[in-house]
Structure 1
Amino acid sequence: MSDSNLSDNHLPDTFLTGIPGLEAAQFWTAIPFCAMYLVALAGNAALILVIALDNDLHAPMYLFLCLLSLTDLALSSTTVPKMLAILWLHTGEISFGGCLAQMFCVHSIYALESSILLAMAFDRYVAICNPLRYTTILNHAVIGRIGFVGIFHSVAIVSPFIFLLRRLPYCVHHVMIHTYCEHMGIARLACANITVNIVYVFHLPSRDTQHKALSTCGSHIGVILVFYIPVFFSFLTHRFGHHQVPKHVHIFLANLYVLVPPVLNPIIYGARTKHIWS
């Protein structure tokens, strides 16, 4: 086997390093991440439970909110347990297939959450501009179709990542400086040109979705900003500031953007729900 490249049938295992430069403090760094994860689990689970048990909350807005909480739970649970294992137990080994699976889940959940935020924006538009037909336009069948389209859309736009990554030859020393697997992080391990990967990422149609989602109001705008600002920072540093932004800063913020939205969403919407139905 060559020391420079490996065939597709001999893809190497990946080692996730954690947060470079903070090795001595990784144990303590993981504590706030763990606390945020527990808050996200408790908050989103409580929100789902309240919506499920209260028939008055089976309106379209709260069904979309339930979907948002489910994606938040999935997003944080896909990344944080492995991250804590790396920071606390130094178990950074992960198979290449497992790394691709985690990457697929992370990006597809992000795409699905973007679709849900767009659906919530449409929900507020209908509620404000056509309130008399609100429940007619957004009945349960329509909500189910919106959910199916969101899942199909997220899987369709993220699936090419698998092909784009598996077509690349990889170096034997397959170490990813991160706490979880993401598309550009894996692509940069390749011993080949990754221009196609970069072009595909930056030509995804999600920007139009993001601009449409910003047409919503109030608490939704806060959630959207919390969701997208760290994502844009991560994408732009991968594209333009890969060597200028310290790796520990990039990884620290990447960990936050899979934790902050799941923590804040149930707080923001929970307060809104309590206000409306008290």
Structure 2
Amino acid sequence: MREATEPLKTQRVYLLLRDQIAAGQLPAGSRLPAEPALADAFNVSRVTIRRALERLAAEQLIDKRPGSGTFVRKDVAKRQGIIADVANVFTHLREMGRSTEARLLTFAYQMPTEWIRDALRMEDDERVQVSVRVRHVDGVPFSYLTASVPERIGRAYSREDLAALPLLELIERSGHSAETATQDISATLASPDVAEALDLSVGAPLISLTRAVYGRDGEGLEYLQALYRPDRYSLQMDLVRTRGEGESRWSPAATVPAAPTPGDQDR
């Protein structure tokens, strides 16, 4: 039984420590508790702790210094992840396309699934262009993107274009204007192919986002299935309190305030 549960325990400790580093609970340059203390804190064996630390070291999040201890790397705080504004979808897509690098894995034309065909409001005999891209920030993969575009739109650009430019920019360059979108956000686990592309372990948690983009008159332009590493990508939404007759609610803010400086966050 221990052989079956040990990898799960290692995964849990690794994820918890990684989240503490990402959240600043274990600040850059700080020393981690000794292995016996961590084993007691997580109620696991020292072997489990050692394996979890090895994974963090492999991701260059910590340094193990013989005779001194284990420390969070000082450059962790300087690494930039992606913060997506949920309420400002299209601006975010353009900015991310310009500030990150993409690697195109597949590019093909095929019949869509019934779900995608209905979401894009396509005819039964229409095909879609399907592409799979992995985006990187600071040289680290953070997203696995599977996009389906109606063939009549996808024929306006090439595989080389898609490898070099953001998909939304190519769609709009072909004469279509993105006007509205519907998206769902949930969580999932990394399958073997996704885990390999994102440099993660199989079964690692991922943010899952599905988005259907529409143009004028509700024309379907793109169906995106996106998977993100939670340590390199986060979602945020700025809200305002609105009050009406007999009720009040939180609503998306019309404008996004400037991001606070590191000093402001401590006040």
Q: Please, what TM-score do these two structures have when normalized by structure 1?
A: 0.23
Structure number with greater Rg is: 2
The structure, 1 or 2, with the larger RCO (C-alpha pairs under 8 Å, 6+ apart) is: 1
- Larger strand fraction of residues: 2
